């Protein structure tokens, strides 16, 4: 996938300091190839003291325990789903197998020689890496802690011993990427903590030379090869969080104090760099906001319980991130679907079906206190009481908190318009983070609209990273978002799957979000220079108006796309699209639990007299809307097309399903679209 041209383009996005740093990393990697760094002697009889306070497990609700045990019992039966692919070998996993392609990554090759980006040689590396984050082991360990059933602990021990034996230091694909090592360390810390009541825990961890070797090499790798420069995004946060947590909980090496201090400093600096003053993650990718917040909270609390607290500035960032999350979620406590999403979690101790975002807000409420405008967070979770129990003091966050729910997060260019059950996100922010904007999409001026939490105009998602370049390109393209494409090209120029060589510059022109009355947003971008695309959005009650203007080059050929959510059925009658969808309580599948089978609804298309029908309805109550499309364009409905891709929705990484996309083609000038909810 990555030829010489890609490496030249990637090099062009680096500054001199980064080039020098990468050269130093290359020298280290060559040295390690010929001489593995030697771990120091392990102290005799180290003690693990980072245990949970007494009585904490009793604070977990019966509902949260039930969800957790259901997931743990599936794992005990050997079943787990990763990115839409069900594995049935989880009793004794093959740590190098990609079940999606059937390929097996080389286990005996020097780590930095593994061509992990090549699906032809390795398989889908995400499918291989994910089980080795060992987050299924924190679930099993939590099941043991809450029930005392030794079978859960025994299974954890078998998996860890297997992994340590089959993955010696710096050998195979699991030693290539720092984010994997960092998250794995965090999992080991929590696995040991949750197994503390099990008699076999000291033999598995403190008294085990295999664990000692793995632990030191993981931390030495992260301390030596930390991500930097244009790669210092969520990866460096995971690296710092894992190193800090392990150096606090397993602080038995001569280097532990230095590792802890270095990781603390770096985490503080990198959290600040990765976060806008408004509190939104600078990658402008909602799921990475969640990942970074989870990692930051886990690491900061680990340091707190170890008596080595992080600076107050770290807590300030985590507080701002929590308030920002509360400000942008819809009334079902789900954030926007912006930018890349790969289902990455920092710490998992909950069962399937737990609302990740409600869980984060619940943790924020305990640590920081909720503001009056925060949404009610439904349900409960396992993670919040466990994390909160590690706090030995109230976090000293000194930031000023808003007395009113923010609607316009200016630095991130995100504006949320709200009216009753209608929620609309308007994108007027930077293209992405750092010089490569790795997780950005070409989505300037796109809109996302939900009604009572149901996606009406949807962001289609991400689907994949490696191995399927046509799909990667589609899901992050301009045509793949609810915005305007000119001259069949994206607003920003892609240099590869995680590289943008030209970034469209967007400017918000006007925002008005009064407590009552219509809300208004207007912005423009230069991605089609010398032409300028300007968009205005107004929400008045349950009527949304979108006005698109192309200035400076009236003869450009354009395509205006509107991607409908997977629950929406549409009848397209000329320029009127009649929309129907089940009321939220009638939906048979929640958005976060969608199976994502590619065949879902693929055959449900009719040709009535009124026009084309695409989609399907579940039983129960039905809600409706009319999308009045600009008559200046010629409109068509697309669903599940593959050459080229058009009309798809990805509920989660590795999953896609047909959905309906309405495309208007022609010469744009001044276009008005109305969305009227009934």
pLDDT in tens, 407-435: 999 999 999 999 999 999 999 999 998 78
Name the token pair of 389: 């129990």
User: What is the predicted pLDDT for the residue at 613?
Assistant: 52
Of the three residues 225, 258, 283, the one that is the final residue of a domain is 225
Of the three residues 225, 259, 288, the one that is the final residue of a domain is 225
User: What is the predicted pLDDT for the residue at 274?
Assistant: 96
Question: For residue 546, is it within any domain?
Answer: yes
Question: For residue 362, is it within any domain?
Answer: yes
Helices (H), 521-664: none
Q: Are 546 and 525 in contact (CB under 8 A)?
A: no
Question: For residue 16, is it within any domain?
Answer: no
Q: Are 300 and 255 in contact (CB under 8 A)?
A: no
Both 217 and 245 in one domain: the answer is: no
- Which CATH number fits the domain that encloses residue 509? 2.70.98.70
- CA–CA gap between residue 219 and residue 181 (Å, rounded): 8
Q: What confidence category does residue 129 fall into, taking pLDDT thresholds of 50, 70 and 90?
A: very high
Residue owning tokens 């403190």:
206
Of the three residues 225, 240, 262, the one that is the final residue of a domain is 225
pLDDT at 186 over 80: yes
Q: Are 42 and 181 in contact (CB under 8 A)?
A: no
SS3 145: helix
pLDDT at 161 over 90: yes
pLDDT digits (tens, 9 = 90+) for 467-510: 789 999 999 999 999 999 999 999 999 888 888 888 999 999 99
Residue owning tokens 């399903």:
657
User: What is the predicted pLDDT for the residue at 436?
Assistant: 84
Question: For residue 238, is it within any domain?
Answer: yes
Both 215 and 359 in one domain: the answer is: no
Indicate the DSSP class of residue 311: P
- CA–CA gap between residue 221 and residue 160 (Å, rounded): 19
First to last CA, the chain: 48
The phi and psi torsions of 403 (rounded to 5 degrees) equal -85, -10
More confident residue, 592 or 377: 377
- CA–CA gap between residue 424 and residue 336 (Å, rounded): 9
Q: Are 299 and 244 in contact (CB under 8 A)?
A: yes
User: What is the predicted pLDDT for the residue at 597?
Assistant: 37
SS3 570: strand
- 656-662: average pLDDT: 97
State the Rg of the chain over Cα: 25
For residue 147, the tally of other CB atoms under 10 A from its CB is 15
Structural element, H or E, at residue 613:
strand 612-614
Establish how many alpha carbons lie within 13 A of residue 233's alpha carbon, considering only the half-sphere containing its beta carbon: 21
Tell me the average pLDDT of the chain: 91
- The CA distances from residue 66 to 63, 85, 194, 359, in Å, are 5, 24, 17, 16
495 burial type by CB count under 10 A (0-12 exposed, 13-18 middle, 19+ buried): middle
Question: Which residues does residue 546 pair with via DSSP β-bridges, in sequence order?
Answer: 537, 673
- CA–CA gap between residue 40 and residue 457 (Å, rounded): 57
Q: What confidence category does residue 614 fall into, taking pLDDT thresholds of 50, 70 and 90?
A: low
pLDDT at 40 over 60: yes
Question: For residue 39, is it within any domain?
Answer: no
- CA–CA gap between residue 148 and residue 198 (Å, rounded): 8
Question: For residue 603, is it within any domain?
Answer: no
Question: For residue 635, is it within any domain?
Answer: yes
More confident residue, 189 or 399: 189
Both 375 and 394 in one domain: the answer is: yes
Spatial CB neighbours of 626, under 8 Å, sequence gap ≥ 6: 576, 577, 578, 579, 674, 675, 676, 678
Question: For residue 3, is it within any domain?
Answer: no
Both 560 and 659 in one domain: the answer is: yes
More confident residue, 586 or 129: 129
Q: What confidence category does residue 554 fall into, taking pLDDT thresholds of 50, 70 and 90?
A: low
pLDDT digits (tens, 9 = 90+) for 50-89: 999 999 999 999 999 999 999 999 999 999 999 999 999 9
- CA–CA gap between residue 192 and residue 153 (Å, rounded): 10
Question: Which residues does residue 277 pair with via DSSP β-bridges, in sequence order?
Answer: none
Q: What confidence category does residue 8 fall into, taking pLDDT thresholds of 50, 70 and 90?
A: low
In order, the DSSP letters of 225-259 are S---GGG-SHHHHHHHHHHHHHHHHT--STTHHHH
Q: Are 355 and 144 in contact (CB under 8 A)?
A: no
Q: What confidence category does residue 7 fall into, taking pLDDT thresholds of 50, 70 and 90?
A: low
Both 450 and 414 in one domain: the answer is: yes
Q: What is the pTM of this model?
A: 0.93
| Positive or negative torsion for Cα 173, 178, 179, 184 | positive
Both 282 and 144 in one domain: the answer is: no
Name the token pair of 583: 């009321």
User: What is the predicted pLDDT for the residue at 3?
Assistant: 65
- CA–CA gap between residue 350 and residue 382 (Å, rounded): 6
Q: Are 289 and 335 in contact (CB under 8 A)?
A: yes
Both 341 and 280 in one domain: the answer is: yes
For residue 614, the tally of other CB atoms under 10 A from its CB is 25
Its domain, for residue 215, covers 62-225
Give the CA dihedral 539, 540, 542, 548, nearest 10 degrees. -40
Both 369 and 439 in one domain: the answer is: no
User: What is the predicted pLDDT for the residue at 19?
Assistant: 72
pLDDT digits (tens, 9 = 90+) for 311-355: 999 999 999 999 999 999 999 999 999 999 999 999 999 999 999
Both 316 and 354 in one domain: the answer is: yes
Question: Which residues does residue 506 pair with via DSSP β-bridges, in sequence order?
Answer: 525
For residue 517, the tally of other CB atoms under 10 A from its CB is 11
Number of separate domains in the chain: 3
Where is average pLDDT lowest: 3-7, 150-154, 306-310, 330-334? 3-7
257-260 long-range contacts (CB < 8 A, ≥24 apart) are 259/219, 259/223, 260/303, 260/306, 260/308
pLDDT at 609 over 60: no
SS3 658: strand
| Positive or negative torsion for Cα 630, 632, 638, 643 | negative
Both 400 and 414 in one domain: the answer is: no
pLDDT digits (tens, 9 = 90+) for 347-395: 999 999 999 999 999 999 999 999 999 998 877 999 999 999 999 877 7
User: What is the predicted pLDDT for the residue at 233?
Assistant: 86
pLDDT at 528 over 60: yes
Both 389 and 521 in one domain: the answer is: no
pLDDT at 632 over 50: yes
Share of the chain above pLDDT 70, in %: 92
| Positive or negative torsion for Cα 221, 223, 229, 231 | positive
- 227-245: average pLDDT: 90
Both 545 and 661 in one domain: the answer is: yes
């Amino acid at each position: 996938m990555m030829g010489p041209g890609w490496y030249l383009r990637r090099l062009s996005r680096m500054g001199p300091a980064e080039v020098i740093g990468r050269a130093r990393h290359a020298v280290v990697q060559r040295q390690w190839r010929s001489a593995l760094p030697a771990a120091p002697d392990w102290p005799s009889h180290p003690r693990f003291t980072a245990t949970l306070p007494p009585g904490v497990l009793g604070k977990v609700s019966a509902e949260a325990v039930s969800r957790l045990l259901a997931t743990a019992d599936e794992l005990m039966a050997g079943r787990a789903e990763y990115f839409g692919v069900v594995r049935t070998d989880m009793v004794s996993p093959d740590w190098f197998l990609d079940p999606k392609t059937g390929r097996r990554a080389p286990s005996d090759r020097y780590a930095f020689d593994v061509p992990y980006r090549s699906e032809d040689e390795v398989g889908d590396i995400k499918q291989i890496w994910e089980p080795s984050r060992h987050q299924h082991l924190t679930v099993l360990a939590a099941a043991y802690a809450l029930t005392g059933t030794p079978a859960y602990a025994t299974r954890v021990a078998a998996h860890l011993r297997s992994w340590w034996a089959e993955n010696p230091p710096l050998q195979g694909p699991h030693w290539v990427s720092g984010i994997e090592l960092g998250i794995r360390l965090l999992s080991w810390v929590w696995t040991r903590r949750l197994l503390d009541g099990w008699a076999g825990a000291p033999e598995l961890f403190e008294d085990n030379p295999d664990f000692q070797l793995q632990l030191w090499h993981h931390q030495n790798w992260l301390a030596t090869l930390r991500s930097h420069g244009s790669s210092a995004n969520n990866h460096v946060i995971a690296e710092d969080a894992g190193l800090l947590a392990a150096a606090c909980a397993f602080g038995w090496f001569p280097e532990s104090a230095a590792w802890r201090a270095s990781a603390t400093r770096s985490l503080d600096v990198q959290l600040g760099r990765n976060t806008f003053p408004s509190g939104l993650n600078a990658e402008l990718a909602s799921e990475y906001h969640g990942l970074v917040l989870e990692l930051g909270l886990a690491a900061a609390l680990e340091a707190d319980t170890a008596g080595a607290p992080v600076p107050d500035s770290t807590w300030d960032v985590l507080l701002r991130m929590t308030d920002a999350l509360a400000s942008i979620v819809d009334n079902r406590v789900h954030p926007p679907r912006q930018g890349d999403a790969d289902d990455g979690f920092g710490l998992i101790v909950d069962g399937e079906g737990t609302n990740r975002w409600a869980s984060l807000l619940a943790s924020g409420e305990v640590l920081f206190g909720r503001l009056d405008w925060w949404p009610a967070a439904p349900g409960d979770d396992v993670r919040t009481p466990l994390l909160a129990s590690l706090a030995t003091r109230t976090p000293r966050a000194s930031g000023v908190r808003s007395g009113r729910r923010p609607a316009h997060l200016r630095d991130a260019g995100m504006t949320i318009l709200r009216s009753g059950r209608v929620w609309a996100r308007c994108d007027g922010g930077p293209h992405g983070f750092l010089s490569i904007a790795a997780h950005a999409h070409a989505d300037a001026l796109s809109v996302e609209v939900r009604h009572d939490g149901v996606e009406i105009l949807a962001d289609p998602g991400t689907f994949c990273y490696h191995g399927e370049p046509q799909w990667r390109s589609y899901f992050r393209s301009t045509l793949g978002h609810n915005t305007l494409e000119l001259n069949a090209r994206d607003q920003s120029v892609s240099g590869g799957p995680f590289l943008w060589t030209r970034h469209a510059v967007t400017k918000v022109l006007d925002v008005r979000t009064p407590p009552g009355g219509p809300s208004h947003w207007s912005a423009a971008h230069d991605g089609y220079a010398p032409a300028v695309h300007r968009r205005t959005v107004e929400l008045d009650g349950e009527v949304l108006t979108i006005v698109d203007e192309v200035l400076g080059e009236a003869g450009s050929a354009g395509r205006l796309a509107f991607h409908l959510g997977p629950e929406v059925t549409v009848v397209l009658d000329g320029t009127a699209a009649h929309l129907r969808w089940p009321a939220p309580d009638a939906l048979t599948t929640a958005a976060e639990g969608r199976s994502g089978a590619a065949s879902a609804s693929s055959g449900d298309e009719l040709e009535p007299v009124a026009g084309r029908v695409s989609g399907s309805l579940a039983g129960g109550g039905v809600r409706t809307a009319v999308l009045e499309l600009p008559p200046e364009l010629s409109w068509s409905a697309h669903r599940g097309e593959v050459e080229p891709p058009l009309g798809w929705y990805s509920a989660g990484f590795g999953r896609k399903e047909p959905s309906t996309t309405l495309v208007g083609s022609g010469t744009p000038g001044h276009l008005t679209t109305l969305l009227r909810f009934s």
